[in-house]
């Protein structure tokens, strides 16, 4: 049974308690908006005022080892973002008080010590430990780097660690502004007042619950202020609420399954984009439940699917139906089975989505080593298109329905890359072109209505609707298309470079990110005919003003390079150079094969641009070739697309991909 404590301030909240954040909880996720809101609340509180800071849901941890202290260990079920932030701000105040103490303010030293002893570290059996421990992946960073300023040597930071670091930066900036222009004594007064407002002015509604399932009831009935819960968190809370309805042992068993699954999901998505958890919920829903984008309303869709009224026997209702009799125990069994199946599938999907963006994915369910490698290569190529969202339901459905069919998965990933290249990069269709149709194909595949070969045929037919060979050739051979302004031109030229590179012993093609990252973007595309040619460089001899305007951004005039500044706006002879020239940056000595290929041209003219464009077009038609679909496949997809309509929140499906 939950116990409730009204209006406890933070000092009262921590009295006799240690806190831990479970792994299944969302990692630290507060951003500038939430931090700013809390800071404003503190600022507007007033000298003797107070402010309701929200709800804390705590569960005592019964099976902890004897720590020789009177402190009780509590798991923070809800409110962890706010609680962590309060401790973080107090720790930054402590540091500034210690600095004032070094200037001779003895009272500042005493205040700093009080903060550290109460809110930072407590001593148990002569060993210090933090008042609050964060979940797996964050606790070491929190303890060492945030609370103790020790260097952190664990590679790149995961999302939660980055947000902790950003929160420290935010708080430090606000504290600096707080004491700007004041002397040591006034700075001490201001910092002490902020300390008081956090420790004594913030009021919390504290619930102590006996089980995780019981916490679900709290979530469904208490609306607290703070960072908006993600749809995935709302889904977990609702499922826990349903689990709490089951009065026998199945309820707690189901709650444990939910919490364990969410811990695995957060771990699987830790290195993905900031909105990856919402994306997971949506992609899984489209593939397995309902492919219609318009019917997706986040966790609300889950509530409709698992409507509690469907699992309450009619005899238990106020107005019962005498002609429909169902044993309530059987109803609880249906609820437990339905939720178990859904949660297990969602958990598996988080792992599958992680593997989609992992260039080293193991694909353990695939038996053939060659299929595993081909799947990795094809997914890496798809990620380079930077348009992955429309295919996630389809790729997920393939893995869920045919987990061991590596050949099908690799072929499907390859077809998705061809779809992106033809439809989005070359034909420049809207980024949601065909998304509705792809989702419906995914759903049919998952349900077993169609098999792998039919899925391939129907995706091909959908692709052909937007980018048939004739239309593709017209676009590729035209020298009047502005390719430089296209987001995908680097991808196109990089794939071309890969085809030229081949197998070169001892040499490795630079990663795509070296050309596509925001830092490199402006300098890694070279205009052979410069955008702004200087007089006297010989360009006007071969190009009229009109020709230059038409051709400068055409595909035939663009190459990839690692640094276009070395070519500047030289004439073509200066850019081309001579093979073997020492200390001279030129195409002939370039690191990329497409640079070196330009050394074969004597001059650069409208005719050579057209010739190179034709060569690139012919290569592209072969590189992204697709066999024309059968009339049967076209008919099967006639009802599988809504055109290029506006699909709400389609961008949310994008999950950050790891560099290959």
Question: Which of 447, 337, 449, 361 lies closest to 409, judged by CA?
Answer: 361
Would you state the pLDDT for residue 141?
A: 86
Tell me the pLDDT tens digit for each residue of 330-378: 888 899 999 999 999 999 999 999 999 999 999 999 989 999 999 999 9
- Give the up-direction half-sphere exposure of residue 185: CA atoms within 13 A in the CB hemisphere: 0
Mean pLDDT, the chain, rounded, equals 86
Would you state the pLDDT for residue 100?
A: 93
In angstroms, the Cα distances linking 639 to 61, 286, 293, 434, 634 are 55, 17, 15, 11, 10
Band the pLDDT of 649: cuts 50, 70, 90.
very low
Band the pLDDT of 9: cuts 50, 70, 90.
very high
Residue carrying structure tokens 């951003």: 31
In angstroms, the Cα distances linking 265 to 251, 352, 446, 640 are 21, 11, 21, 31
- The two tokens of residue 84 are 């962590």
Q: What is the mean pLDDT of residues 305-318?
A: 67
Would you state the pLDDT for residue 324?
A: 46
Q: Is the dihedral of CA 375, 384, 161, 208 positive or negative?
A: negative
CA distance 659 to 161: 20
CA distance 480 to 571: 23
Would you state the pLDDT for residue 6?
A: 59
Decide: 304 and 289 in contact? Cβ < 8 Å.
no
Question: Which of 118, 90, 85, 101 lies closest to 196, judged by CA?
Answer: 90
pLDDT at 11 over 80: yes
Q: What is the mean pLDDT of residues 30-53?
A: 81
The secondary structure of 560-572, three-state, reads ECCCHHHCCCCCH
The full set of domain ranges for the chain reads 3-221, 231-317+324-356, 369-468, 479-623
Band the pLDDT of 136: cuts 50, 70, 90.
confident
| More confident of the two residues 310 and 69 | 310
pLDDT at 140 over 80: yes
In angstroms, the Cα distances linking 527 to 101, 190, 601 are 61, 58, 15
Q: What is the DSSP letter of 197?
A: I
Band the pLDDT of 436: cuts 50, 70, 90.
very high
The secondary structure of 593-629, three-state, reads HHHHHHHHCCCCCHHHHHHHHHHHHHHHHHHCCCCCC
Question: Which of 71, 86, 73 lies closest to 21, judged by CA?
Answer: 73
pTM: 0.72
Q: Is 399 helix (H, G, I), strand (E, B) or coil?
A: helix
Q: What is the mean pLDDT of residues 18-43?
A: 87
Would you state the pLDDT for residue 418?
A: 98
| More confident of the two residues 517 and 504 | 517
Q: What is the mean pLDDT of residues 147-162?
A: 75
Helix (H) or strand (E) holding 58: strand 51-60
Would you state the pLDDT for residue 40?
A: 84
Q: What is the DSSP letter of 330?
A: H
Would you state the pLDDT for residue 323?
A: 46
| More confident of the two residues 243 and 520 | 243
pLDDT at 223 over 80: no
Would you state the pLDDT for residue 154?
A: 64
Band the pLDDT of 506: cuts 50, 70, 90.
low
pLDDT at 637 over 80: no
Would you state the pLDDT for residue 647?
A: 40
Would you state the pLDDT for residue 648?
A: 38
pLDDT at 292 over 70: yes
Decide: 136 and 119 in contact? Cβ < 8 Å.
no
Q: At what angle do helices 276-288 and 435-447 cross, to 10 degrees?
A: 60
Q: 162 exposed, middle or buried (CB, 10 Å; 0-12, 13-18, 19+)?
A: middle
Residue carrying structure tokens 């700075």: 187
- The two tokens of residue 45 are 């509180």
Q: What is the mean pLDDT of residues 162-184?
A: 91
Decide: 91 and 241 in contact? Cβ < 8 Å.
no
Strands 17-20, 132-133: pairing kind: parallel
Tell me the pLDDT tens digit for each residue of 516-549: 887 777 789 999 999 988 887 889 899 999 999 9
Q: What is the mean pLDDT of residues 638-653?
A: 45
| More confident of the two residues 564 and 353 | 353
pLDDT at 213 over 90: no
pLDDT at 85 over 70: yes
Would you state the pLDDT for residue 271?
A: 77
Decide: 413 and 395 in contact? Cβ < 8 Å.
yes
CA distance 294 to 279: 15
With vertex at residue 380, the alpha carbon angle to CA 374 and CA 386, rounded to the nearest 5 degrees, is 145
Tell me the pLDDT tens digit for each residue of 184-201: 999 999 999 999 999 998
Band the pLDDT of 219: cuts 50, 70, 90.
low
Widest pairwise Cα distance in the chain: 97
Would you state the pLDDT for residue 286?
A: 97
């Amino acid at each position: 049974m939950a116990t409730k404590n009204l209006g406890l301030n933070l000092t009262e909240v921590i009295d006799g308690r240690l806190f831990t954040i479970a792994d299944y909880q969302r990692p630290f996720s507060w951003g500038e908006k939430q931090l700013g809101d809390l800071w404003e609340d503190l600022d507007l509180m007033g000298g003797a005022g107070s402010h309701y800071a929200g709800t804390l849901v705590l569960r005592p941890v019964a099976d902890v080892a004897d720590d020789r202290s009177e402190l009780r260990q509590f798991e923070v079920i809800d409110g962890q973002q706010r609680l962590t932030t309060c401790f973080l701000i107090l720790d930054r105040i402590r540091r500034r008080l210690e600095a004032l103490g070094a200037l001779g303010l003895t009272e500042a030293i005493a205040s700093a010590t009080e903060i550290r002893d109460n809110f930072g570290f407590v001593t148990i059996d002569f060993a210090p430990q933090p008042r609050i421990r964060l979940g797996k992946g964050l606790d070491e960073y929190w303890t060492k780097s945030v609370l103790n300023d020790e260097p952190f040597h664990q590679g790149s930071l995961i999302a939660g660690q980055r947000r902790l670091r950003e929160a420290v930066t935010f708080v430090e900036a606000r504290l600096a502004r707080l004491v700007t222009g004041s002397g040591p004594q006034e700075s001490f007064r201001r910092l002490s007042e902020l300390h008081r407002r956090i420790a004594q002015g913030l009021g919390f509604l504290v619930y102590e619950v006996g089980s995780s399932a019981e916490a679900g009831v709290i979530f469904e009935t208490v609306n607290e202020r703070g960072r908006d819960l993600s749809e995935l968190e709302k889904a977990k809370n609702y499922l826990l609420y349903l689990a709490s309805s089951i009065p026998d042992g199945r309820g707690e068993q189901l709650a444990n399954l939910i919490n364990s699954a969410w811990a695995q999901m957060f771990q699987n998505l830790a290195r993905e984009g900031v909105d990856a958890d919402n994306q997971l919920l949506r992609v899984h829903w489209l593939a397995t439940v309902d492919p219609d984008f318009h019917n997706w309303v986040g966790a609300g869709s889950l509530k409709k699917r698992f409507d509690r009224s469907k699992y309450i026997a009619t005899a238990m209702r106020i107005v019962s139906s005498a002609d429909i009799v169902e044993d309530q125990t059987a109803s609880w069994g249906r609820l437990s089975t339905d939720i178990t199946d859904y949660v297990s599938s969602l958990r598996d999907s988080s792992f599958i989505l992680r593997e989609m963006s992992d260039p080293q994915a193991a694909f353990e369910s695939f038996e053939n080593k060659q299929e595993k490698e081909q799947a990795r290569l094809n997914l890496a190529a798809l990620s380079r298109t930077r348009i992955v969202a429309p295919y996630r339901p389809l790729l997920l459905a393939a893995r869920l329905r045919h987990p061991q069919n590596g050949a099908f998965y690799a072929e499907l990933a390859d077809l998705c890359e061809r779809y992106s290249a033809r439809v989005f990069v070359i034909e420049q269709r809207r980024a949601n072109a065909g998304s509705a149709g792809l989702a419906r194909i995914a759903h049919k595949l998952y349900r077993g209505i169609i098999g792998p070969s039919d899925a391939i045929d129907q995706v091909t037919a959908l692709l052909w609707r937007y980018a048939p060979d004739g239309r593709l050739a017209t676009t590729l051979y035209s020298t009047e298309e502005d390719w430089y302004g296209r987001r995908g031109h680097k991808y196109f030229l990089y794939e071309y470079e890969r085809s030229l590179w081949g197998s070169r012993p001892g040499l490795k093609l630079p990663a795509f990110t070296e050309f596509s990252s925001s830092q490199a973007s402006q300098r890694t595309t070279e205009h052979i005919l410069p955008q702004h040619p200087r007089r006297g460089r010989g360009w006007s001899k071969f190009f009229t003003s009109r020709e230059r305007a038409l051709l400068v951004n055409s595909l035939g005039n663009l190459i990839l390079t690692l640094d276009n500044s070395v070519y500047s706006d030289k004439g073509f002879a200066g850019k081309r150079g001579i093979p073997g020239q020492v200390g001279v940056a030129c195409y002939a000595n370039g690191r990329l094969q497409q640079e070196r290929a330009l050394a074969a041209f004597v001059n650069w003219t409208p005719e050579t641009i057209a010739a190179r464009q034709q060569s690139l077009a012919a290569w592209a038609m072969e590189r992204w070739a697709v066999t024309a679909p059968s009339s049967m496949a076209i008919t099967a997809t006639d009802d599988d697309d809504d055109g290029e309509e506006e699909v709400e929140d389609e961008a949310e499906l994008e999950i950050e991909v790891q560099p290959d």
